[in-house]
Amino acid sequence: MATDQTLQQLKKKPFKLDLKELHALCEANYARLLLLFPDYETSNSREFLVGTARIRLDVVERCRYTTIFHLHQQHAEPRWLGRLRVEVRAYHDASMLEVGMFQSHRKVAVRYQYPNKNMYQQDEKSQQNRFLADWLEHCLQNGHASQPLAVPGQGA
């Protein structure tokens, strides 16, 4: 059983953001998204299935160095986030992708004091980017086209 002194020490332990880890995660997520949506520069959306879930990636805004995407998942099993909405921003000059909005939570702070009124974790932004990494990897490993792809030069 923890003593009051041990609990006080745990509460006072300062939160440290591992910036190298966050940057590596954002770089890996950028590469994952480009594998899922390689033609984002000329196409506005990509759709595929993962099990019973329908995944849709939409380009919302294109700028010279950034692109904003909305990632939607629908009709999935409720135990695996039946409906998912994430907004991500791709920084092409840095080859990084970060979460901008997760479900309905906008403007995720890099760090939060804990406890806080919304009970966000101190490393909420890192956790959301880690979740995005797992989700994108799951899509890469288990996704398949919802419709057959047309191959140029082959008759239908």
List average pLDDT for each run of 10 residues in the chain, which is 156 residues long: 57 74 96 96 94 92 96 77 86 96 71 69 83 95 73 52
What is the predicted pLDDT for the residue at 104?
66
What is the predicted pLDDT for the residue at 83?
81
What is the predicted pLDDT for the residue at 126?
85
DSSP state string for 59-117? EEEE-SSEEEEEEEEES--GGGTSSEEEEEEEETTTTEEEEEEETTEES--S---SS-T
**Integer angstrom CA distances of residue 88 from 17, 41, 69, 97, 119:** 20, 15, 5, 7, 23
pTM across the whole model: 0.78
